[in-house]
C-alpha cells in the first residue's frame, strides 16, 4: 500500500525523513486508517510504552500492562468501519536508546499482530525524531 509517499506494508515502517507525527496521523486518517500518535510523552521504558499504548488505543480494562497482554491486545484490535489501525511514533529512538531489548520485542509483537489473518493492525510507523 502506498500512502504519504511511503510503502505502508504490514509491520514496522521506519521513516528517516523529519516528519511531524501529528501530520502523519492526519494524512493517514484522511487515507482511511485509524491512525494514532503513541508517544505524546516520551516513551523510554516498559511502563511508559504500555501506558502510551493503553491511552492511544483506548485498550480495554483487562489490559495487563505487560508484553503478553500487549500481544493479546494488538492481536485483538479490530478495524472500525473498515478502517484498520496504524500506530505512529514521533521518536521511537528514545525507546531504542534507553531499552533496545524492549524496543526489539515491541517491533516483533507488532510484526506478529500485523501478520495475523484479518489483522486490525496494519503497521507501526517509526519516525526519525522531532522536526
pLDDT of res. 4: 57
Q: Which structural domain range is residue 61 located in? A: 2-127
Q: What is the mean pLDDT of each run of 10 residues along the chain (131 residues)?
A: 66 88 93 96 98 96 95 95 96 96 98 96 88 46
Looking up residue 71, the CATH number of its domain turns out to be: 3.30.370.10
Q: Quote the number of domains for the chain.
A: 1
pLDDT of res. 113: 98
pLDDT of res. 3: 52
Written as one string, the DSSP assignment of 37-98 is: E--SS---SHHHHHHHHHHHHT--TT--SSHHHHHHHHHH---BTTB-EEEEESBTHHHHHH
Amino acid at each position: 500500500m502506498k500512502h504519504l509517499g511511503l510503502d505502508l506494508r504490514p509491520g514496522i515502517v521506519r521513516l528517516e525523513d523529519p516528519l511531524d507525527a501529528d501530520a502523519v496521523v492526519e494524512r493517514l486518517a484522511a487515507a482511511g486508517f485509524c491512525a494514532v500518535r503513541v508517544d505524546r510523552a516520551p516513551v523510554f521504558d516498559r511502563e511508559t510504552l504500555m501506558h502510551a499504548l493503553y491511552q492511544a488505543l483506548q485498550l480495554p480494562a483487562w489490559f495487563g500492562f505487560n508484553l503478553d497482554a500487549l500481544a493479546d491486545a494488538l492481536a485483538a484490535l479490530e478495524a472500525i468501519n473498515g478502517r484498520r489501525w496504524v500506530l505512529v511514533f514521533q521518536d521511537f529512538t528514545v525507546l531504542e536508546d534507553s531499552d533496545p531489548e524492549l524496543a526489539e520485542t515491541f517491533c516483533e509483537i507488532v510484526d506478529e499482530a500485523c501478520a495475523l489473518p484479518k489483522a486490525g493492525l496494519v503497521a507501526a510507523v517509526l519516525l526519525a525524531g522531532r522536526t
